[in-house]
Chains A and B, each alone.
Chain A
Amino acid sequence: MKVKGDESPLALPLAAVFAAFFVAPLCVLVLLSLHGEAAMRTWTAASYVKFFTDSFNYSILWETLLLGVKATLVCLVFGYPIAWVCARSGARLQSIIVFLVIMPILTSVVVRTFAWIVILGRQGIINQVWLGLGATEPLRLLYTETGVIMVLAQVQMPLMVLPILTVMSKIDPNLADASRVLGAGEWRTLWRVTIPLSLPGVIAGCILTYTACITAFVTQTLIGGARLIYMPLHIYQQAVGANNWPFAAAISVIFMVAVLVIVGILGAIGRRSETFARA
């Protein structure tokens, strides 16, 4: 027996809010990007032509997409072992690890970034140690891409760890045991059994981490400074600084389409890996 009636109307209020305040604004944004001025009188594709013919513009897009790849790889290298260790720990230790992993993402992003300024700055902790070791020049970390990648990796790690952990704790432990009984060593078991089976979690983690890294306006801007421009800052500068709304709209649309394409590709890989994991 099912609960009386169909419950789909319960989603209508939220659907209405999304239609009026999410879908409609994005449609207006697309329309605005196809106009020459904020008043939206003449139709033109000039903003898009400007973006793709000016190397300054498309190199920002490229740098942003690349930044996401680098930060996601760092998250994967450290996040996968965390999930692996966590999945093999007792319930209590597991809670503690998850608690510590999600703490950074819940602490205010400005506070987190501020902490990193204290750590990475010219008189920061890393440089105190570095100069204390006898170096003559302080390391430049703040306002560099390396700094941005470090901070992004710390901030977005939970988005990588949690999906992997979810998938990993559902893997039948007998499979790894079977692999060992059949003579495969631990590394081989990891490579041939555990990693392929946890691939759906890895892909889900990569999607979340990647999109979070390339759209992380606060971290990119505070750690990267004014000279390292990524897409979110570019949109903000064009919209607020230059007050060029049609162009800002065009870059926003281009950026969103880029994000959706990447999510679509990774999602397709994820679905294939899921059928692979089940086979």
Chain B
Amino acid sequence: MPAPRAFSGEVGTGSPQKMRPTEKASNIDWEALSLRIVFGALTIVAMVFLVAPTVIVLLTSLTASESLRFPPPALSLRWYYALIDADQMQRAAWNSLVIAFWTTLISVVLGTGASLAIARSRARWLRAADLLFMSPLLLPALAFGFAALVYINRLGFSPNIPFLVLGHVIVCVPFILRTTVAALTQLDPALLDASQSLGASSWMTFRRVTLPLIAPGLGSGAFLAFMASFDNVPVSLFLADERTEVLPIHLWQQIDTNLDVRTAAASGLIIVFTLVLMVVTERMAGLTRQMR
């Protein structure tokens, strides 16, 4: 077939156009090109805008100087070594990890059950419950944190770690529901029928068929829930007791009082930690596919 357009490579496939008269071709080329240039440019600007802060913090944290200047005059790991002596920060980081661990564990157990119900049952009340379970994503978390504090005060308790974990579960469970329900609806029901007709019990079917197949969705959701808990400020602000300081709030106070480079080093560590977990989740569970 003769190529009607000189620069067909730039216009994508657009195979139906090949049947169009040639005089129209150059016209269409320009329009397609302009759309591509505008959208391509906006995408590139947006991607730089999205990635730049992360790169800048990483580079700043590697500075050899006393101040937070970018670009750093010389590179060194001295601020990372300084973190070894930052006891308070380490305790805060440990608290956050422990809280995020329990939050994720409880959210996975409760969330898997609820996802199975939402994906498979037709009970009317579940539609309302589904909306309720997702609403913490939309409502201001700070208002919920305050409400929870008022509530436990009325019940005669004061803030403590179990309440803090419960509060985190409320705001983190939607992430698990979203990815897990999506994975369950893609699961072929014939597989479940096959398992049952071969004599497997419901539990056996769940463990040997359903769970392995929804594991990527569940794993991605668990990762998102873990990060959401590790990162949570609005709920922790109200529900953490005086002795329990969590990492994001500790870092916030550091940023507010003295902008020292140790904060940048801690930020650098958090970024690396997040990136490693992201790559692992991507490799094992296809995070980017689960999130769409």
Contact = CB atoms under 8 A, between A and B. Distances in A.
B52 interface: yes
Contact of B139 (A40, A85, A154, A259): A259
Given A21-B148, A111-B251, A235 B43 contact: no
Interface string A81-121: 11011001000001101111111101111111111111100
Given A85-B43, A110-B255, A157-B46, A10 B233 contact: no
Contacts of B169: 17, 21
Contacts of A112: 53-54
Contacts of B38: 81
B188 to A, nearest CB: 13
Given A113-B255, A232-B142, 17 more contacts: A1-B197, A15-B129, A21-B170, A82-B46, A85-B43, A95-B289, A102-B291, A103-B51, A111-B270, A181-B20, A183-B24, A185-B28, A186-B31, A218-B233, A236-B237, A252-B142, A253-B143
A181 to B, nearest CB: 4
A82 B43 contact: yes
Nearest to B52: A119
A248 interface: yes
Interface residues of B, number: 108
Interface in A185-227: 185-187, 190, 207-208, 211, 214-215, 217-218, 222
Task: Report which residue of A40, A106, A169 has the largest number of chain B beta carbons within 10 angstroms of its beta carbon.
Answer: A106
Interface in A49-83: 77-79, 81-82
B103 interface: no
A10 B210 CA distance: 15
Q: How big is the A interface, by class?
A: 35 or more
Interface string B277-289: 0100010000111
Interface stretch (A24-32, A130-138, A270-278): A24-32
Interface of A: 1-11, 13-15, 17-18, 21-26, 28-29, 32, 40, 77-79, 81-82, 84-85, 88, 94-95, 97-104, 106-119, 123-125, 128, 153-154, 157, 162, 165-166, 169, 177-178, 180-181, 183, 185-187, 190, 207-208, 211, 214-215, 217-218, 222, 231-232, 235-236, 239, 245, 248-249, 252-253, 255-256, 259-260, 263
Interface stretch (B1-9, B83-91, B119-127): B119-127
Given A3-B202, A111-B57, A232-B142, A99 B288 contact: yes
